Amino acid sequence: MDFFALLVVNGLLVGTLYSLIALGFVLIYKATAAINFAQGELVMIAGFFVAALIQLYRAPLAAAVAITVLAMMLLGFGVERAMLRPLIGRPVIAVIMATIGLAAILKGMGPLLWGAETKNLPLPIPDAPFLVNVLDVVVLVSPIQLVAAGVSLAFLAVFGYFFLRSRMGIAMRAVADSQQVAMAVGINVERYFAVAWAMAGVVSALGGIIWGNLLGVDVHLALVGLKVFPVVILGGLDSVPGAVLGGLIVGVVEGVAAGYIDPYVGGGTKDFVPYLLMILALMVRPYGIFGKEIIERV
């Protein structure tokens, strides 16, 4: 029972980190109705940037984080203005293909600018795990995972409120429903595209800092985007609560599966279990747990 509780708690903590990256997918989808396949590469670029500021330029951590968040916002603005704004009103597949091309460009830029070797991204957080009593079961918890989970949940709550209650968030949802109709009622579609990409840049910066500390910063950090994709499908592409719940479910399932199956198969269970869960979700509920069901008349 103690082992199972340890796997579940660690899975929930990792799941909150998945949810934060999944939020980047949701932000772009809510504004453009297209999937951003460059989300993992944006996380990688953010990790490279903050690691370079700390290691090469000896910037204080707070300044490095602030500069990275600002730089990723500007990168989001630039991508939207140069690459995606000309695609407004075009078929969604055009935007998707543009993000795939962007992913390839960013994946090459990281090692080109900062080198291919793995870079450490130290944070002033103790490494030693500590004991936590959960329902009379004592489990070991990593401080960095606990801090990262708190940061992730805080930003998820902020973005959830933004989309549900704020005027700008409601306008972004209207743009996602129909760009032509949104323009017809006076919504500045170009502005909300830019806002969505800037917000995705902020999420990428946070994800790059957290995951860069956990995994190290190199080109493989971009794989976090693909790892999180089952979270988005499971929770619903257009749902912030779905990103949270999907991340928690995937984190727990892969943690428990790895804990009980890895000893018999030699490891690697957590690399395919999320995709197996995604396939089952597509078979049973293709629009996700909280995703909007689209019914078309033919």
Pairwise CA distance, residues 247 & 175, whole Å: 26
Pairwise CA distance, residues 265 & 183, whole Å: 55
CB-facing half-sphere around the CA of 275: CA atoms within 13 A = 8
> What is the pLDDT, as a whole number, of residue 92?
78
Cβ–Cβ under 8 Å, residues 176 and 30? yes
> What is the pLDDT, as a whole number, of residue 222?
92
> What is the pLDDT, as a whole number, of residue 137?
64
Termini Cα distance of the chain: 53
- Record the pTM: 0.89
> What is the pLDDT, as a whole number, of residue 298?
54
pLDDT along the chain (298 residues), means of 10: 81 89 86 84 94 90 93 91 80 86 92 88 79 68 82 83 83 77 82 86 91 90 90 88 90 91 85 90 86 64
> What is the pLDDT, as a whole number, of residue 3?
81
> What is the pLDDT, as a whole number, of residue 247?
92
Q: Where are the domains of the chain?
A: 17-222
